[in-house]
Structure 1
């Protein structure tokens, strides 16, 4: 959170401080700001596109930056776990941005210019008084980049003996997402008549199948024979049909430009297929053979 670096330097009396996981959750930690998570994610995707980052790295970084927002929107969280292209990551973050902005406007926080809406303004207007840093983190809305709050270790859990329907009640905090997921898995297990372990295994297998389907690249159909066509072929044809088309156009001189060089007249097609390697020089050699 803003001010953490300064407090760390003051408490430890060191010359510099490093951060690993903290920067993953808030890329602007050392700027002393908490940006909107979807804005940080969009900026990260621009760098990922420029430097050709691996899909696994993109997915992991988005999970860190948009962790709390993905807990609010399960469908976007599940989609981020299975998509495999940069375009799909852009679409998913764009949908998250749309929902968060709608949530902001619904709450009466008008921010037509997103850059002008910062975390410090929100704290000053909505929660100026807080007793601890932990309370501030939990009270900060999910659409801000903020630290990841880890579960309390079992050795530090305080058990209460308050009487409930089940006897002893555990007062350790469990995230709302985990509570909802447990209830959902219990319901699915009861309906299917299998154990909760089996339900989790089925979900894991389904995610794997979805990833494989997303990884499979679809190619356009060849206009001539319906086989997969080359991705950038000017005729949208497969290699065999493209070769036939280029040869025919070369012989017929279709769409060509007549060039007069001394006593020699040549006709060059205005379009040939570099994708399949059918260049004018190759076509001339083939037709004159």
Structure 2
């Protein structure tokens, strides 16, 4: 409890770690509107430990961005420890992601797909707790039964976990099967451990947060989607979407981030207003936008279209046909239909500019072309093929091969290719010369 009280400042309103979404600019916007604790996005411990560029991007923060916890994923205790040792001077704690349910986590064997391997998790948490000068925390999902979930939490506490975030959904509750989080599991965990417990799941507004605190008895409440759709969730406000968007865009000028992050945030902030048929063109424009100026122009177009209705200067003509409590231009939760969560969901249909049905893959390609038309135009119309495969020929390759075939040829025949900058023969000769010099000495 000392860690939660003294180091973190007893935070109650917490922004979840979100891949491609809880970057520095978004954290600073969230803190402005009431967030008391933020997490970095999840970082891969192996990449963090060995890639300086990846590590530098992960360490992006500022003096006002506190308290801040960095989250790692991984399945090798020594590698996770190596990453944590390089990060511990910059953060309040190290969090282990033991709750990610996505397919990439299954392929990489991390996140929620480690929850059956208790010996490995005990070793990992204990190794971090023993060797770090800052606390280690964990984020988990509930298991099939309350009893097993409680035992899981107690195992992590005994291993050295100093704070536990419990998501009230199982590993299988995702996508169309998301459903509702079960707070009774979180309450049971809170009553069975001595460390601080953070609740996660079903937090769409400030009233949900207060109700969760009362029903579970936890120290704090974490939200992800609630924060993405309404950055002012912790103040109980529903501001105009363009206000949040323009404030966020100003922060991205100070704290730069990839355009894909910005586009994703704007789609969430403008979700309800862009879902209106009258704004189909704006939705397409946002999907193709690739500069800060374009993002600002779209935000200002929405402001110009709806500010007069927001201020009461005009009456919105579609108000009788809109079945939501709040008008669509305000930041508000996106609520899924949980009643049909276990039923098959119809896939979204995509169309090209002429209205012909196309696949999702084709639609993504068209959007990429819209964002970077100059990249498509710069490609040669009739590119020559490699002599050994169907890949494009390297324009400066002496052997008239693609890079892969050229690399294989150089390796097998002890050759160099200046065009591809493949220097197999040169490097082998350098290695022999170095070994000979070392032998002579």
TM-score normalised by length of structure 1 = 0.49
TM-score normalised by length of structure 2 = 0.33
User: In terms of Rg, which structure is larger?
Assistant: 1
Higher helix share: 1
